[in-house]
Structure 1
Amino acid sequence: MATLEQIQARLKKLQAQADALIARKAQVAVNQIRELMLKHGLTTADIEAKAKARRDAKALNGRSAIGKAKTAGAAKGKLPPKYRDPKTGATWSGHARPPVWIKNVKDRTKFLIDAAADSASTVSSVVGKAKVAAKRGAAAKKATAKKAVSKKATAAKKVTAKKAIGVKTAMKRTAAAAGKKAAVKKTAAKKAVAKKASAVKKVAAQKVAAAEAVSAS
């Protein structure tokens, strides 16, 4: 029968083997992750950023769902006001327990909210909002028109500048061509003068030779 020391030694050996297997598997996983990161050009910072973005998105979705649930619950449980305190502006829907300012009042008709007045107020608010929206739209249109005019002016300036550059280039080319023609003409004139001078020299030499021949005879 194995002793306690032998069992403990076996346990240590088995634990060492298990640690080695875990390390190998971890190394294989790390190598695969490195290959994928190198293949797609990723870094640990990219992975952390994406993980953080997912966590933030989940948290935001959770908060949004909670907010929507609260809003829906409040909308369902809240009734439109029916009575209003002219002194404080406090309202009461007419259901549940009445507030202090109307609790002991027998004739509550004087506290009724005037639907027509409320409707007029609503209409006025809507008209005011429409006017503000119209002003904003007009301002946006003006800004867009100014941008369009500015773009057109910039484009026209660029076209004018290009035309000016083209004219200058053409003038330079014309001047260069004229210079070349003048140089060719000068060279031709020089050659013609040289030919004439050479011919004159030949004629003079021939005359001198003839005179010398005559005097010798």
Structure 2
Amino acid sequence: MAQHRELKAQLEELNERIDQARVKEAPDALLQIRELVALFGFSQSDVFGVAPGLRKTRAQAKYRDPETGRTWSGRGARPKWLKDKSIEQYRLDL
């Protein structure tokens, strides 16, 4: 059991040294990152990727109501402005 206590004490000491090294080295690391981002013109999404939930893109509109300007991609339920109408007259030339 003495070895376990000794190892735990060493682990605590190492964790403290790791934290101290991180605090000491972090400003230089951040400066390097900022320099590289500026040098290469990276955007936030280049560096961090796209946040979950923001990846969805709207489907391209295929139909348009000339009176209201409303559009529909052809996905999902048919909109009310197309109810009982031939959708071909509202098709956009893509």
Same fold by TM-score greater than 0.5:
no
**Higher RCO by CA contacts (8 Å cutoff, separation 6 or greater):** 2
Question: Is the radius of gyration larger for structure 1 or structure 2?
Answer: 1
Provide the TM-score with structure 1 as the length reference. 0.22
Provide the TM-score with structure 2 as the length reference. 0.43
Identify, as 1 or 2, the structure richer in helix. 1
